[in-house]
Amino acid sequence: MARVYNFSAGPSTLPVSVLEKAGAEILDYKGSGQSVMEMSHRSKVFDEIIKDAESLMRELYQIPDNYKVLFLQGGASAQFSAIPLNFMNGSGKADYIITGQWAKKAYQEAQKYGDVKAVASSADKTFSYIPKTKAEDFREDADYVYICLNNTIYGTVYKELPPVGDKVLIADVSSCALSEPLDISKFGVVYFGAQKNVAPAGLVVAIIREDLLGKARDICPVMMDYKIQADADSLYNTPPCWTIYICKLVLDWIKETFGGLEKLKEYNEKKAAVLYDFLDSSEMFKGTVVKEDRSLMNVPFVTDSEELNAKFIKEASAAGFVNLKGHRSVGGMRASIYNAMPIEGVEKLVAFMKKFEEDNK
């Protein structure tokens, strides 16, 4: 059996050792005689899995005690609605920074529920940079400020958080979750869809400061009320048990392989540098993002010809480097190089790109 190098933006590649472990445990999880797919979410054995997942998450992200960690469904997209329904509850105003499609979708959804302002945007240059903001850009009485920390489609990331003062900062970190340390105390809410960096699809993790809970609007659907989910320890209804189990295995893998997120960040930096250094030296391939805002996770790049882009994607795929086609709004190519992509995968991709450049001069 040959595994490819999978550069998909999500769902994305998982660590081989995690897949092997899940395979070995698939018929009989730890002597229970059942697969995790089959067992009650209220059983003692599943309780251990979800508790372990939470405690590993708390340990790796060093989550302060006054934050809840919730395991939810509906994708990151469901949170676009849940966030205004739960947190736009004072002035009814919220400020959004538009750094790409995911931030824009969240902004558009929030408009259904209140006075929502786009305080900055990088739409003018196809979201190829993070717009600078000043403290006075944010409305004094905004209930929260919303950002998308790492922009999956465009390949930008905030290296510094916007100066929101003591306003509640809410961040979608779907595509950079657990890829490097993050000071959770700077945020009111951090959430991520797990299928980018942490697990298969089906799970969203929301990390929420406790004092923000319990103020959802009356019209908030019960499944989107974070307080109800928190009071039920994420077991208000049947959670995505299997995905939570894989999430736990991935967190184990991070801890065992890297010790913590500092070391994982170093690895991710080294890995991304292999590709960025090549892009900076190549005559044919160019990165699309300004250097200071480059993501460690998603790397979009282009040649100056649509024909060459298509030829490259086709030949790369045949050579075992798959899912390199860029998002339709950027074109060209995109290599998503999440935690589970080994550095060898990027080195081999770069070797392939070098040869392609030679052969197509």
Ligand X SMILES: *Cc1c(COP(=O)(O)O)cnc(C)c1O
- The catalytic residues are 102, 172, 196
Minimum CB distance to ligand X, residue 219 (Å) = 21
- From CA 361, how far away is CA 187, in angstroms rounded? 49
Among left, alpha and beta (phi > 0; psi -120 to 50; other), residue 91 is alpha
Residue number with CB closer to ligand X (102 or 356) = 102
Give whichever of 196 and 271 is closer to ligand X, judged by the CB atom.
196
Whose Cβ is closer to ligand X: residue 14's or residue 350's? 14
Q: Which residues contact 62 (CB under 8 A, 6 or more apart)?
A: 181, 184
**Tokens encoding 92:** 């009814």
Distance (Å, whole) CA 292 – CA 129: 8
Cα gap 81→72, rounded to integer Å: 14
- Where on the chain is the footprint of ligand X (CB under 6 A)? 10, 75-77, 102, 148, 152, 172, 174-175, 193, 196
User: Within a 10 A sphere around the Cβ of 242, how many other Cβ atoms?
Assistant: 19
Classified as helix, coil or strand, 199 is: coil
Q: In what order do the strands lie in the sheet with 333-336?
A: 286-287, 298-302, 333-336
Q: Report whether the peptide linkage leading into residue 200 is cis, meaning its omega lies within 30 degrees of zero.
A: no
Question: Can you name the residues that pair with 208 across neighbouring β-strands?
Answer: 68, 189
Amino acid at 224: M
The residue at minimum Cβ distance from ligand X is: 75
In the complex, what is the shortest distance from the CB of residue 221 to ligand X, in angstroms, rounded to a whole number? 16
75 or 331, CB closer to ligand X? 75
Please report how close the Cβ of residue 240 comes to ligand X at its closest, in angstroms. Answer: 12
- Taking the complex as a whole, the smallest distance from the CB of residue 231 to ligand X amounts, in Å, to 24
How do 204-209 and 67-72 pair as beta strands? antiparallel
User: Least distance to ligand X from the beta carbon of 356, Å?
Assistant: 28
Q: Report yes or no: 313 and 282 within 8 Å, Cβ to Cβ.
A: no
Measured distance CA(210)–CA(63) in Å, rounded: 12
What are the structure tokens assigned to 230, written together?
Answer: 């928190």
3-state secondary structure of 265: helix
Least distance from ligand X to the Cβ atom of residue 30, Å: 29
